[in-house]
Structure 1
Amino acid sequence: MYETIRYEVAERVARVTLDRPEARNALSDTMIDELLDAFGRAGADDGVRVIVLTGAGDRAFCAGADLGGLGAAQRDGRAMADPDAIRDSAPYRLFTAFPRLGKPIIARLAGHAVAGGLGLAAACDLVVAADDVKLGTPEVNVGLWPMMIMAIINRNVPPKQAFKLYYTGRRVTAAEGREIGLVTDVVPRAELDAAVDGLARTIAAKSPIGLRRGREAFFAIEGRPLEDQVAHLLGELVELAATEDAKEGITAFLEGREPDFTGR
């Protein structure tokens, strides 16, 4: 069905694989369109509770934008003069789609994540990386700056650590990435699949409606005053507590058994 990605569903987990290993899984317009389609499929499928995003091969998770595969207007900068063109551009549509996914998404890094590839990983809710993976924003080395992905990375990394990444363009280890907030877990390469699969199974066993409403609330309160955040979250809690899953979860807890969540 897809040219540049693979999409598979098993055990309530959708696995989306960037499948251009010969190009280090670089992002082209076609790949971005296919990613957005796959995310939409996963979001609409009640049989999917978690999404895992990974890259084919162990050389690169994603090397960022494929300059030869992006639209001409984006390559020569003309899109920057037109706000409508910016919003229609493939990178804009990709990075702004993550808060609306509706389901948890885990990045599995078996290879390096640099430039836009690092932004792609950082946009995921959780990031599990092999211990020999490197991360970086090398744009400054060629006279550029990680403009698009800075909006994503700045939400994960303290300002001074972010500036160090941007100013130096150096690659950091997965362990360093964990220390500064880019990576959730770092595991030996041989244990990567088990770690990702275990995390996905753990999350998939939770209430789908609880995960969705909680994730939506997380993004909805961003940047709002504390009073607004608390008011919004209280309203969300009241509505969530009235769901069948919440009632089942509380009953199961009192009865000492595992809950059987249905997403209602």
Structure 2
Amino acid sequence: MAEAVAPARSETRSLVCSERTGGILTLTLDNPPANALSIALMEALKAALEEARDDAGVRVIVLAHGGKVFSAGHDLKEMTAHRKDADRGRAFFAETMALCASLMQTVVRHPKPVIAAVDGVATAAGCQLVASCDLAVATANARFATPGVNIGLFCSTPMVALSRNIPRKQAMEMLLTGEMIDAGTALSYGLVNRVVAPEELNRGVMQLAETVASKSPLTLKIGKEAFYRQAEMGLAEAYEYTARVMVENMMARDAEEGIGAFIDKREPEWRGE
């Protein structure tokens, strides 16, 4: 994975590095050694995602990581320090969990497809972040776990993303045992889409991102929103809703252009409208 030049280490350094390659925006977590999801990192990542929301030049977002760990989850040292607060940390814990929930929903509700690129360990809220992405590419070095049960803190919020991405029995096994699974197991569970050799991660992710980025940005936005909304509906309601979505989609200029290009056997020219 090509990375932006690392900023100087200081108290004000960026925790999320940004790099553009054509229509693909790569956001790299840079909070070594564990890329812990501290308040500062979550705020930085959420801000970067929000900035990309209305940037017409961004078609696809890749979430990458510096170092050997994608993310080990919440910053437990930061959280533990607040046990000295008058309320034993309750307000800070609530702030942390609310911000994390908001960040994960920002990923899911984002109009641009988001791809996780994982070449290391992703545990707890880090695993949650991978599960929240629309697609994920991992290397043989990748490992995943929801190990909260091992320290007396059940991974309840990671469970939301996990249980919406993999079968219940597999999700419960991860949650109840806290055991690490390898990339091949994650692929068989459906937690990741593809597993590649470590040296092939950049090429594999960029190929996938470029394929997605070549589609109509309006169609991707419509489809991603509809996918997650219908998944929360009953069968009849889902069909009624998606039928309305398809009618509106058919009225879009890009649908007219795409169908016309297919019939004329030519490449479509997307306008995002």
Normalising by structure 1, we get a TM-score of 0.92
| Aligned position for 1:176 | 185
1:86–1:92 CA contact under 8 A, matched in 2: no
Q: Deviations over 1:33-66 (max 9, x none)?
A: 1111100111110000100001112x11111111
Deviation at 1:79? Answer: 4.0
Q: Secondary structure at the match of 1:186?
A: strand
| Aligned position for 1:39 | 49
Tell me, yes or no, if structure 1 residue 227 matches structure 2 residue 236. yes
Deviation at 1:88? Answer: 8.0
> What is the RMSD computed on CA atoms of the aligned residues?
2.2
Residue type of the alignment partner of 2:271:
T
Q: Deviations over 1:112-161 (max 9, x none)?
A: 11111000111000010001211111111112211111000000111111
Deviation at 1:21? Answer: 2.4
Q: Secondary structure at the match of 1:97?
A: helix
1:98–1:124 CA contact under 8 A, matched in 2: yes
Q: Secondary structure at the match of 2:77?
A: coil
Q: Secondary structure at the match of 1:150?
A: helix
Distance 2:271 2:260 in 1: 14
Which one of 78, 81, 84 corresponds to residue 90 of structure 2?
Answer: 78
| Aligned position for 1:9 | 20
Q: Which runs of 5+ in 1 are unaligned?
A: none
2:123–2:146 CA contact under 8 A, matched in 1: yes
| Aligned position for 1:56 | 66
Distance 2:232 2:21 in 1: 36
Distance 1:229 1:100 in 2: 18
Q: Secondary structure at the match of 2:166?
A: coil
| Aligned position for 2:78 | 69
Q: Secondary structure at the match of 1:165?
A: helix
Residue type of the alignment partner of 2:90:
R
Q: Which runs of 5+ in 2 are unaligned?
A: 1-11
Deviation at 1:7? Answer: 1.2
Q: Secondary structure at the match of 1:21?
A: coil
User: Number of aligned pairs?
Assistant: 259
Matches within 5 A, 1:227-246: 227-246=236-255
Deviation at 1:181? Answer: 1.3
Distance 2:55 2:237 in 1: 32
Q: Deviations over 1:164-198 (max 9, x none)?
A: 11121111110000101111100111111110000
Deviation at 1:225? Answer: 1.7
Which one of 191, 209, 224 corresponds to residue 215 of structure 1?
Answer: 224
| Aligned position for 2:130 | 121
Residue type of the alignment partner of 1:78:
R
Percent identity over the alignment is 37
| Aligned position for 2:206 | 197
| Aligned position for 1:131 | 140
| Aligned position for 2:271 | 262
1:17–1:55 CA contact under 8 A, matched in 2: yes
